[in-house]
Chain A
Amino acid sequence: MAHQAHAYHMVDPSPWPLTGAVAALLVTSGTAIWFHFNSTILMTLGTMLLLLTMYQWWRDIIREGTFQGHHTPPVQKGLRYGMILFITSEVFFFLGFFWAFYHSSLAPTPDLGGCWPPAGITTLDPFEVPLLNTAVLLASGVTVTWAHHSIMEGDRKPAIQSLALTILLGFYFTFLQGLEYFEAPFTIADGVYGSTFFVATGFHGLHVIIGSTFLAVCLLRQIQYHFTSEHHFGFEAAAWYWHFVDVVWLFLYISIYWWGS
């Protein structure tokens, strides 16, 4: 093995950026083809390719870090910057939808009845399931912190239990939101209220699913002894992401569910 005289990671050539780019092309074109020609082959093919790419790319990163030791302190610092920058970009993503919500709700137009919520819209009671959802996500923030401390202390069983509990709480949130979506007295087609509600909460729900998946991968890795008490950045990244998802929900709850009702 050639020895490097530096602490940085010169990665092996990899096919996954190419397969990922083709997957993105297939998913986007496939969606357009589905809308216009009622065929889902391209979009499905693209989604399969996307899943294969994500699985193999992240599998390789785990191999490079945990099995080959490439994630030295400077490399880990870069990974930390990367995750922080990515989450920041997601903050801006949600900022746009909050902008749309406040644009429409602070100055409701005459066609809405000049009021918010618009005339004819029966809003959801913020003190029923939405409040429970708030409690569920806040609790999951506690359990993920418990998991982190357990990992740092080298307590294997509490780490596994608290991480599993966090994921279960995430699933419970998704389940409750699914019920709310099904039972809601308004749809996405109900004017700007419906649009802002379902696009903002819908993207949030997608991020809860992504975050739960990330935590589930961490659970599998914790079970397989990948994490040490000193080095477990994958878990920290998942926990950061999870806290971000929780904070977005708090803003959604205050703005759309409570103030907007």
Chain B
Amino acid sequence: NLRNTHINIGLRQLSRRTIASSARRQLDNTVKEKQKLFQEDNGMPIHLKGGSKDALLYRATMTLTVFGAGYVVYVLFTAAMPKKPQ
């Protein structure tokens, strides 16, 4: 029927357009979406406002920070007090 023919022609034209644009690797402008995400009134601080990826990266960084701070104190302490037989 006529409606389906129109849809098929439309789809063929659309696929031609998407193939052409994917060949040129067009990037979509997602700034508006990001602006919406980061202006959401959810009380989250900026470093966690992006979602679960932020939380994961933050936790990994903080773990290294705490472990590193402890480890450096240990290393410097032992370096300052070597166990040398007299």
In whole angstroms, what is the CA distance A19 to B46 when docked?
A: 16
Q: In chain B, residues 10-54, which have Cβ atoms closer than 8 Å to a Cβ of chain A?
A: 27, 29-31, 34-35, 37-39, 41, 45-47, 49-50
* Given known A-B contacts A22-B68, A25-B72, A26-B72, A68 and B61 have beta carbons under 8 A apart: no
What's the least CB distance linking B49 to chain A, in Å? 7
Number of A-B contacts (CB under 8 A): 93
* Given known A-B contacts A14-B45, A37-B79, A56-B47, A67 and B64 have beta carbons under 8 A apart: no
Contact with B along A84-101 (1 / 0, CB 8 A): 000000000000000000
- The answer to the question of B81 belonging to the interface, with a C-beta cut-off of 8 Å to chain A, is no
What's the least CB distance linking A49 to chain B, in Å? 5
- The answer to the question of A48 belonging to the interface, with a C-beta cut-off of 8 Å to chain B, is yes
In whole angstroms, what is the CA distance A36 to B75 when docked?
A: 12
* Given known A-B contacts A19-B62, A225-B31, A67 and B38 have beta carbons under 8 A apart: yes
Q: Is the interface of A mostly helix, strand, loop or mixed?
A: helix
With A12-B46, A42-B75 given, name 13 new contacts (CB 8 A): A15-B58, A15-B61, A16-B47, A30-B72, A48-B64, A53-B61, A56-B61, A60-B46, A63-B34, A67-B35, A67-B37, A224-B27, A225-B31
